[in-house]
């Protein structure tokens, strides 16, 4: 890109006028001081005129050259202006795109935070509801290693306030779902446990207890002299003596714990 200093361009317009003014001002003075013949005077004037025309032509050439320089300088500036406009437009587009991406990221972050807060709230509701139902679980079932660990974690997570919870949300959700899965598995099966129970006189017996999920249970001791029937309650399982059912319960236990002697056993539905 060509450029000419302004200091070199400013005198250009004045150059053609300087020799002419100097010639006009000098001719009368010269005529008054030096006597010359007409032929010599004509020769001098012609010579000076030729010199003046030469200088004028030189100035015109210089002006044409300077004009070309200015033209190239103008074209260069116009090209630079066009390039700058393109760069500004591209930068504006990038900025708008970057701003939109930033807004999208902020919105996505806000959605994730809201979702996490809602998930945390729902898990707390699940934990509280599940803890309220723990008394419905038989003590033998709650002593199973996997179940015991899950219940311990559940109770630990319920101790701090909801906004002071420190355990990971994913960990808490896993604990609740696995505990619910174990409870559901127990609910859909028949389980037999060895438990200690007391009679009305305070005598303690080692008994085999058969649970029909979370709905009903029967128990009998080894010699069939003491039998119980149980139902869950809000504060735990309640058993009542039903010694009259001891033979049937013993028969039921044999059927439930072996592949032999399969038979039907009639037992009453105990009221809670």
How far apart are the C-alpha atoms of 29 and 44, rounded to whole Å? 14
CA distance 106 to 166: 25
With contact defined as beta carbons under 8 Å apart, do 175 and 150 qualify? yes
Q: Return the bridge partners of 216, or none.
A: 212
pLDDT tens for the chain, 272 residues: list them.
434 444 444 444 444 444 444 444 544 544 455 566 788 888 888 888 888 888 888 888 878 887 787 778 778 888 888 888 888 888 877 777 767 777 778 888 888 878 888 888 889 999 999 999 999 999 999 999 999 999 999 999 888 876 666 668 889 999 999 999 999 999 999 999 999 999 989 999 999 999 999 999 999 999 999 999 999 998 999 999 999 999 999 999 988 887 766 777 788 877 76
* 3-class DSSP state of 232: strand
Domain segments of the chain as ranges: 6-90, 137-185, 190-257
Please name the helix (run of DSSP H) or strand (run of DSSP E) that holds residue 233, with its range, or none: strand 227-233
pLDDT of residue 10: 45
Which pLDDT belongs to residue 192?
A: 95
Specify the 3-state DSSP secondary structure of 230: strand
Q: What is the Cα–Cα distance from 234 to 237, expressed in whole angstroms?
A: 8
Q: Say what the pLDDT of residue 29 is.
A: 47
Is 242 in contact with 250 (CB distance < 8 Å)?
Answer: no
pTM: 0.58
In sequence order, what are the residues at sequence separation of 6 or more whose Cβ sits closer than 8 angstroms to the Cβ of residue 217? Answer: 138, 209, 210, 211, 228, 229, 230, 231, 237, 239
CA atoms within 13 A on the CB side of 51: 10
Helices and strands, number each (H, E), in the chain: 7, 5
> How far apart, in whole angstroms, are the C-alpha atoms of residue 95 and residue 243?
85
- Residues 124, 270: Cα–Cα separation, whole Å: 35
Question: What string of DSSP letters covers 31-71?
Answer: HHHS---HHHHHHHHHHHHHHHHHHHHHHHHHHHHHHHHHH
């Amino acid at each position: 890109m060509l450029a000419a200093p302004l200091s070199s361009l400013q005198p250009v317009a004045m150059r053609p006028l300087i020799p002419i003014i100097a010639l006009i001002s000098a001719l009368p003075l010269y005529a008054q001081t030096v006597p010359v013949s007409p032929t010599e005077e004509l020769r001098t004037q012609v010579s000076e005129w030729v010199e003046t025309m030469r200088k004028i032509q030189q100035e015109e050439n210089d002006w044409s050259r300077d004009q070309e320089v200015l033209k190239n300088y103008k074209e260069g500036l116009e090209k630079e202006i066009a390039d700058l406009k393109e760069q500004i437009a591209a930068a504006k587009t990038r900025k708008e795109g970057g701003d939109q991406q930033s807004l999208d990221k902020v919105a996505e972050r806000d959605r994730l935070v809201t979702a996490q807060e809602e998930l945390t709230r729902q898990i707390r509701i699940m934990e509280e509801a599940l803890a309220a139902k723990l008394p419905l679980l038989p003590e033998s079932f709650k002593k199973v290693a996997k179940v015991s660990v899950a219940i311990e974690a559940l109770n630990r997570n319920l101790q701090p306030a909801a906004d002071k919870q420190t355990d990971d949300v994913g960990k808490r959700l896993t604990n609740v779902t696995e505990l619910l899965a174990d409870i559901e598995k127990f609910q859909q099966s028949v389980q037999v446990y060895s438990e200690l129970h007391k009679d009305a006189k305070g005598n303690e017996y080692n008994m085999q207890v058969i649970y029909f999920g979370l709905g009903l249970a029967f128990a009998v001791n080894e010699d069939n002299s003491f039998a119980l029937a149980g139902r869950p309650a809000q504060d735990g399982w309640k058993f009542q003596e039903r010694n009259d059912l001891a033979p049937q319960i013993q028969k039921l236990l044999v059927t439930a714990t072996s592949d032999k002697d399969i038979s039907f056993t009639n037992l009453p539905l105990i009221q809670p």
